[in-house]
Structure formats: structure tokens, C-alpha cells
């Protein structure tokens, strides 16, 4: 597919696309349905279900940092992916059997899916030379569309299983799709090699020994995750503290760079990382607080067709699958004609779209008689999807563009760890929305007030980022910024 659209794409991009797609389905199944499974299947209260789901999403992204550190340094990216998929498969099998504690299955599953994602992104980044910025960005556009296609399938199946009450089929689906993803990857194993990484430059004996150590370390985090599921408040505080430490670490690296250009590029990376945390903090309300809002306060059917809460997430997925390739082509043509579609501009647009998506919800609540109409959720998720298109692919490709190759693995993991910090914030926001932990029906007034406050906060964030955009353009080195600097010098 990718090679047909652009014959300059490497041949490895096509199996990579399908590997990402199938490996996403199993995760999307659980991601979209976990909070409902905990409520309906296990009898947890809304607040407790939101808390556990928040921990799951938080550590999924937080583990990307560990994966980014291990991958390319102590274990090859492809071996890291294989280990992660095997753990994810094992976790699904454990959750299939009801006599096994759900936290054990969740911990094993999470250790797998959280550890390998950054390795896949680094494999894709390594397929391109540093100067192939446009081609790399286009590839991430298409692969991100493939990920969302996988999400569409996973979320749709998850909604169906939720309506039928047969959650066992959810785990069986995850097992099957994970196996397909692994088989595709193994069939193209030789083409997925590391390129110019610390690990690839080591001798075979050291590679083997370090791979064993890395695998043992990955497996050893399962008891830690089990502890975190049982202590969600502690886990949230820990993630926020570590996120702050990593931000300071990145700042220290940037300020110690001898090359001024590298220093400014990393500072730009840090500013954009802070803004993206704000974006994802609201975005990750979808599988937690927003799912509960839809379940209790949004119409259950459209023209007689029952719509489970998960299916609304497909509004986001369809928008991305259809819109991402179009936007990639449009941006490429506009840049070729001299238009400045800079990274900070795309981030500012995403922040403003996210603000709008939440500010319309109190209007829908106010105008609705009884339960809120489904059209308000469709509009909300559509705006969020457009914002997601603007920044998601850019974040991954930006690491290869702004970060020195020595730090790319760590920074790729850190960039994806921003999702962990954001989802920790989402967990706290969701708990505040539902109110009392023993409440069976969270009041709609709590949701309305929360939506309004969040939307206004994002407006402020968007204005601040807009004011910083000219400076960020100069630091990153966009064409228009270079022209402005030349005119000032003249």
C-alpha cells in the first residue's frame, strides 16, 4: 500500500503497516472496554473502575520510556517487539480464564503492550535518512492511519462483546490478532533490523547477554504493575513525579549540548512535550470519564439502533483513517508551494480544537431534554480527531528531526511517556467528574462543570503556545523563520 502510493517508500514499510494494524486490535479491544468490563463484568463502582482503567492507560504509556531506553541499547528493536507481543498474548490468555485474578492478566498484558511501541516507531524512523523529513512524516501519517484502522476493528468488536455481555470473546479476539501480527513480523524478520544503533554495533556475545538481561528486566516489572493496580493513588503520584524528573533530565541534556542548534532544537522539543501533555490529558478522558458520561447521560440508541459507548470512539477513528492521508498529501503540496505549515502551528491548532470539543458539551447538556443527543458526542470526537491528526504523526517524526541519534531512543520513549503523565491527569479528572466513589449514577452537573473548566483551560494554553510559535519556529529552523532571520540581519 505504502509503496504503491509513493514508490520511494522502503519495501519494509508495507509489512510494518500491517504489523501495527493487527497488533493494535487486541489493545483497542481492552482499551475501549476495560472500564465497562470492570463495572458490568466485575461489579466495580464507576469511580473504582475509572481509577483502575486510568492506571492501565497511564502505565501503558509510561512503559514506553523503559522500552525506549532498552530498545537499540540493550536489546534490538525487533526482539523487544517480539518479547512484548508474547507477554501481551500471555496476558490475554490469563484474562480469558475467570479463575485467574484479573490484575495478574492485566499486569502481564500491560508489560507487553507498553514495552514494545517505541521500538516499532524507532524501526520506522530508521528506514529513512535524516534529511528525508517529508518522506518520514508521510510514512508516519500512513502508519498512524493503519493503527487507527486497527482501533476501528478493535473498538467495534469490543462494543459488540459489551452489548452481548460475552467478555470472553474479547480476549479470544486479542489472542488471534496478536498471533497474526507476530506472524507478519516474523515473516519479514530480516528486513526489520536495527540500523546504526548502540546495540547493533556490539559484538554477538554482548548482544546475546544484554538481550537476556533486558528480557529478565521486562518480566520483572510484572509484580510492580500488579502492586500499582492495587494501589492506584500511589501509582498516579509516582508517574507524575517521574514525569517531572524526566522533563528536568531532558532540559539538562538540552542545556549541556555544545552545539547551539541542538540545544534550541531540544528546548523546542520540551515546550511541545508540555503542550502535548495538556492535549492528551483531555483526549484520554474518552475511555474513562467520557465513557461513563456516555453510558449514563447520552441517548443509548440512534433510530432504534443500540449504540454502546465504545462505538462513539469510531468517530475519531474514521476521521483519522480518512483524513490523515488527505492531510499528509495536502501539507506536502502546500509546503512545496512555500506555505509555512510549521510544527508549532499544528500543535496550536490541535490545542484549540481540543478546547472547542469540550466547550460544546455544556451547550449540548443545556439544550437537551433528558439525555444528551448523540450528535454532541459525534461533534466532540470529530474535533478531537482533527486535532489528533495535526500532532500525533508529527510527534513521532519530530524525534528523528530534532533529536541527536544518541538520544533518539530515550526521547522517543519520553515523548510517548507524555501519554502516561497525561493519562494520570485524566484519571484524576475522571474521578472528579463521577464524584463519590460509591455513587452508582454520576450526576450530569459534575460533568457539565468539568467540561466547561477544561475547555477554558485549553483556550489559555492555546493562546500561550500561539505567542511562542515565532520563537519555536526559529529554534526548530523552519524555512520562513530562516528568511525572517536573514531579513533582520540585513
Q: Which residues, in sequence order, are bridge partners of residue 273?
A: none
Residues 12-45: tens digit of each pLDDT: 778 888 888 898 898 888 888 899 888 887 888 8
For residue 146, pLDDT over 50 is answered with yes
Count CB neighbours of 357 within 10 A: 25
How high is the pLDDT of residue 120? 77
Give SS3 for 156: helix
Give the C-alpha distances (Å, rounded to integers) separating 87 from 145, 322, 353.
25, 32, 37
Residues 6+ apart with CB under 8 A from 488: none
Q: 57 or 396: whose pLDDT is higher?
A: 57
The pLDDT tens digits for 254-273 are: 788 777 777 887 888 888 88
| Residue-by-residue DSSP string for 20-81 | HHHHHHHHHHHHHHHHHIIIIIT---HHHHHHHHHHHHHHHHHHHHHHHHHBTTTB-HHHHH
Dihedral sign from CA coordinates of 153, 155, 159, 161? positive
Q: Residue 151's pLDDT band (boundaries 50, 70, 90)?
A: confident
Say if residue 441's pLDDT is above 80.
Answer: no
- pLDDT beyond 80 at 112: yes
| Predicted pLDDT at 482 | 40
| Residue 408 near residue 125 (C-beta atoms within 8 A) | yes
Domain extents in the chain: 2-485
305: part of which helix (H) or strand (E)?
strand 305-306
End-to-end CA distance of the chain, in Å? Answer: 48
301 three-class SS: strand
Per cent of the chain over pLDDT 90 is 23
> 2-485 has which CATH code?
1.20.1250.20
Whether the pLDDT of residue 452 is over 80: the answer is: yes
Per-residue pLDDT tens over the stretch 338-393 = 777 788 888 999 999 999 999 999 999 999 888 899 999 999 999 999 898 888 76
> What is the mean predicted confidence (pLDDT) over 398-405?
70
pLDDT tops 50 at residue 483? no
> Phi then psi for 199, rounded to 5 degrees?
-65, -45
- Reported as type and span, the H/E element at residue 19 is helix 13-36
Q: Average pLDDT of 186-197? A: 80
Amino acid at each position: 500500500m505504502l509503496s504503491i502510493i509513493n514508490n520511494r517508500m522502503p519495501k519494509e514499510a508495507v509489512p510494518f503497516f500491517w504489523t501495527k494494524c493487527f497488533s493494535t486490535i487486541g489493545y483497542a479491544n481492552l482499551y475501549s472496554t476495560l472500564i465497562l468490563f470492570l463495572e458490568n463484568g466485575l461489579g466495580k463502582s464507576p469511580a473504582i473502575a475509572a481509577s483502575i482503567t486510568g492506571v492501565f492507560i497511564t502505565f501503558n504509556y509510561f512503559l514506553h520510556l523503559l522500552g525506549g531506553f532498552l530498545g537499540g541499547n540493550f536489546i534490538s528493536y525487533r526482539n523487544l517487539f517480539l518479547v512484548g507481543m508474547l507477554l501481551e498474548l500471555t496476558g490475554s490468555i490469563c484474562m480469558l480464564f475467570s479463575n485467574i485474578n484479573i490484575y495478574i492478566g492485566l499486569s502481564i498484558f500491560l508489560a507487553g503492550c507498553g514495552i514494545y511501541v517505541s521500538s516499532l516507531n524507532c524501526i520506522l524512523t530508521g528506514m529513512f535518512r535524516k534529511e528525508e523529513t517529508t518522506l518520514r512524516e508521510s510514512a508516519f501519517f500512513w502508519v498512524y492511519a493503519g493503527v487507527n484502522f486497527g482501533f476501528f476493528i478493535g473498538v467495534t468488536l469490543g462494543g459488540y462483546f459489551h452489548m452481548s455481555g460475552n467478555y470472553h470473546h474479547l480476549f479470544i479476539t486479542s489472542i488471534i490478532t496478536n498471533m497474526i501480527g507476530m506472524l507478519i513480523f516474523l515473516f519479514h524478520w530480516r528486513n526489520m533490523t536495527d540500523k546504526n544503533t548502540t546495540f547493533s554495533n556490539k559484538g554477538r556475545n554482548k548482544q546475546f547477554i544484554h538481550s537476556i538481561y533486558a528480557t529478565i528486566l521486562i518480566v520483572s516489572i510484572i509484580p510492580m504493575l500488579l502492586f500499582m493496580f492495587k494501589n492506584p493513588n500511589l501509582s498516579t503520584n509516582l508517574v507524575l513525579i517521574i514525569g517531572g524528573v524526566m522533563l528536568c533530565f531532558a532540559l539538562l541534556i538540552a542545556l549541556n549540548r555544545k552545539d547551539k542548534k541542538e540545544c534550541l532544537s531540544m528546548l523546542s522539543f520540551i515546550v511541545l512535550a508540555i503542550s502535548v501533555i495538556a492535549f492528551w490529558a483531555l483526549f484520554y478522558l474518552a475511555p474513562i470519564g467520557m465513557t461513563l458520561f456516555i453510558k449514563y447521560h447520552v441517548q443509548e440508541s440512534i433510530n432504534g439502533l443500540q449504540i454502546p459507548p465504545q462505538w462513539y470512539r469510531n468517530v475519531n477513528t474514521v476521521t483519522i483513517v480518512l483524513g490523515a492521508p488527505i492531510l499528509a498529501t495536502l501539507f506536502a503540496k502546500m509546503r512545496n508551494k512555500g506555505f509555512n505549515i510549521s510544527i508549532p502551528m499544528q500543535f496550536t491548532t490541535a490545542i484549540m480544537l481540543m478546547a472547542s470539543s469540550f466547550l460544546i458539551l455544556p451547550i449540548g447538556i443545556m439544550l437537551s431534554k433528558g439525555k444528551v443527543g448523540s450528535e454532541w458526542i459525534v461533534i466532540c470526537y470529530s474535533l478531537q480527531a482533527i486535532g489528533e491528526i495535526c500532532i500525533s504523526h508529527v510527534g513521532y517524526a519530530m524525534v528523528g528531526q530534532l533529536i541527536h541519534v544518541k538520544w533518539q531512543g530515550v526521547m522517543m520513549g519520553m515523548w510517548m511517556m507524555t501519554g502516561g503523565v497525561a493519562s494520570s491527569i485524566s484519571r484524576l479528572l475522571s474521578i472528579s467528574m463521577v464524584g463519590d466513589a460509591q455513587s452508582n449514577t454520576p450526576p450530569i452537573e459534575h460533568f457539565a462543570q468539568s467540561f466547561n473548566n477544561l475547555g477554558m483551560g485549553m483556550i489559555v494554553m492555546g493562546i500561550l503556545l500561539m505567542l511562542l510559535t515565532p520563537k519555536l519556529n526559529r529554534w526548530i529552523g523552519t524555512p520562513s523563520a530562516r528568511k525572517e532571520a536573514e531579513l533582520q540581519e540585513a
